[in-house]
Structure 1
């Protein structure tokens, strides 16, 4: 997911925490926007100040093209990058990311097990679910069955225009248990079942592409329900918009820190990963940006009014962890079928 809450037109923005004499400053690539603003305040600047060094940051647009180009040319200009799960796994398989030295991460045992990967350290938990305008539906929808119930909750629904997440949502709405979703979706019968469920709302579906659209459409009344990232909805809610996020059976994913192979400051980058894996810096990030921590001790440091809006604790008790491995294996075939379905 591209978590760009506000466009941040910076590429290679230098932020000096101290004067350094290195050939190149520690260079960190992030998602931009409010997300990267929160990372800077909670991670980049405190770490740089503790090391007495300077750092440079740049905006990463997702995918592996930039990392591959660095590897192919031998000109590796990044030391750290925030990546989604699928890109982390593919990049690790292709040798594009360094192997994490987990023995050097003191808080390893405090992390969500899904945050521990061969080439990456999970750092941010993102909730993917759906939202509604409380002024439209004073009697709140509760689960995915409600999202697919056009009689009880009439009106347009918005979903992101791709099969990921939507096929899982459809099976959850059709009564498949959380623990069985990917087993069912791995069969042709399960895929047919998911699309059959989606057929039930197809006449009421409106597709979104940008993460800002669900907020805009719900606020304007263009749709009555929309799949969305929790951070977008909670941010809008905190700004005064009457939007609510439905936590039951949401799908959570994890963004990770990775070190491009051949990074000039590999050792310092590893120290950075150890720092951002601690509970206190993650608590600061979640105070600034409503995404969840991977350090399981972080929630104890946060006020309840913050925790209640994060994909952590009780909000994840009945959640589904997004399977990057499943989508790496099945994305092409399911995307082709989705595109045919969406355009018919």
Structure 2
């Protein structure tokens, strides 16, 4: 009996040793797919693996804090570093879905644009939602504003918008004549919400919805829609890689910052921090805009960017002059309520 017990203890010790010796899964980084992730792979993922000698697995997602919440609460999280939108950053940080960042390891907060700094996230890119159309199909007198986006008599054809209240309601109000500086003040009232949905009613019969960033260029290319809102970088990438003649209208574009977060309890936290240091090196950030024109979040990166690319960035003075900064605090407080209203309106 004694020898059997000793033998079982020894076996357990060996099993424990083997289990602890088995390496954790590869560092898993999650982004938005399509042309953007293709650019990230070339500029960040592959060079990082070569320099840091750390294996990296990549996935993509369509957003939604509910996805992240389910992974953490379900105890089955298999993601380490995720790129999130502004309200996903705020909500997830508030709910404890992410690790708190050690800013001393990232070069200090002053290294970054102010809006790129959060307890749980560090800015990845600055980008815009813009109006886009196909210059081969619409020539001469072309659309110049969100009001023109609504004008299906002058420019016939379907319109595409991102499926969800965020950006869609702001666009509707600007199309109805609300100045960018007054959009959130208006949307913060019941009357303003009604005004936005009333404006959307005018276009509903001509609307197509998109959910992935890769869809707007595809919708334009197929001719399914005459105009769409889109991420500025996806339209530029289609022009560059697919030789399209898509046009961007920057008037009243909506700009924001995406951030990198480390998922709570990640077994690869140290590797994730090493990754964040790499992607926030200005010498590395400067290489992204020439591949896809999204702005950098470190102050020192902008002067290093190819000057030919600068006019295509959301941060270019002429592009930001009439822009609306997406108010993440507004959406933190109102996303659930307005999502319910939006989904009910779509289903009608």
Distance 1:291 1:256 in 2: 13
> Do the aligned partners of 2:84 and 2:258 also contact (CA within 8 Å) in 1?
yes
> Do the aligned partners of 1:96 and 1:261 also contact (CA within 8 Å) in 2?
yes
Residues 59 and 320 of structure 1: is their aligned pair in 2 closer, same or farther, counting only changes over 3 Å?
Answer: same
> Do the aligned partners of 1:30 and 1:36 also contact (CA within 8 Å) in 2?
no
C-alpha distance after superposition, 1:138-165 (max 9, x if no partner): 3232222222233443433222332221
Answer yes or no: is 1:125 the counterpart of 2:129.
no
Aligned to 1:15: none
Aligned to 1:179: 181
Once the two structures are TM-superposed, the CA of residue 92 in structure 1 deviates from its matched residue by: 1.1
Q: Which has the larger radius of gyration?
A: 2
Aligned to 1:59: 59
C-alpha distance after superposition, 1:36-62 (max 9, x if no partner): 3322332233334443x2222131424
Aligned to 2:334: 330
Once the two structures are TM-superposed, the CA of residue 90 in structure 1 deviates from its matched residue by: 1.9
Q: Secondary structure at the match of 1:304?
A: coil
Answer yes or no: is 1:248 the counterpart of 2:251.
yes
Residues 151 and 330 of structure 1: is their aligned pair in 2 closer, same or farther, counting only changes over 3 Å?
Answer: same
Answer yes or no: is 1:320 the counterpart of 2:324.
yes
Q: What do you get for the CA RMSD once the two structures are aligned?
A: 2.7
Residues 318 and 275 of structure 1: is their aligned pair in 2 closer, same or farther, counting only changes over 3 Å?
Answer: farther
Once the two structures are TM-superposed, the CA of residue 123 in structure 1 deviates from its matched residue by: 0.7
Q: List alignment gaps of at least 5 residues for structure 1.
A: 1-20
Match of 2:172 among 160, 170, 173: 170
* TM-score, normalisation: structure 1: 0.83
Distance 1:197 1:118 in 2: 38
Distance 1:195 1:54 in 2: 49
Aligned to 1:300: 303
> Do the aligned partners of 1:25 and 1:56 also contact (CA within 8 Å) in 2?
no
Answer yes or no: is 1:23 the counterpart of 2:27.
no
Answer yes or no: is 1:284 the counterpart of 2:290.
no
Distance 1:222 1:237 in 2: 18
What pairs up with 1:1-344 in 2 under 5 angstroms? 23-24=23-24, 27-31=27-31, 32-51=33-52, 53-61=53-61, 62-64=63-65, 67-68=68-69, 71-72=72-73, 77-106=78-107, 108-135=109-136, 136-238=138-240, 239-314=242-317, 315-344=319-348
Q: List alignment gaps of at least 5 residues for structure 2.
A: 1-20
> Do the aligned partners of 2:48 and 2:278 also contact (CA within 8 Å) in 1?
yes
Residues 324 and 282 of structure 1: is their aligned pair in 2 closer, same or farther, counting only changes over 3 Å?
Answer: same
Distance 1:114 1:191 in 2: 27
C-alpha distance after superposition, 1:71-126 (max 9, x if no partner): 45767654322222222222211212111122332263242211111100011223
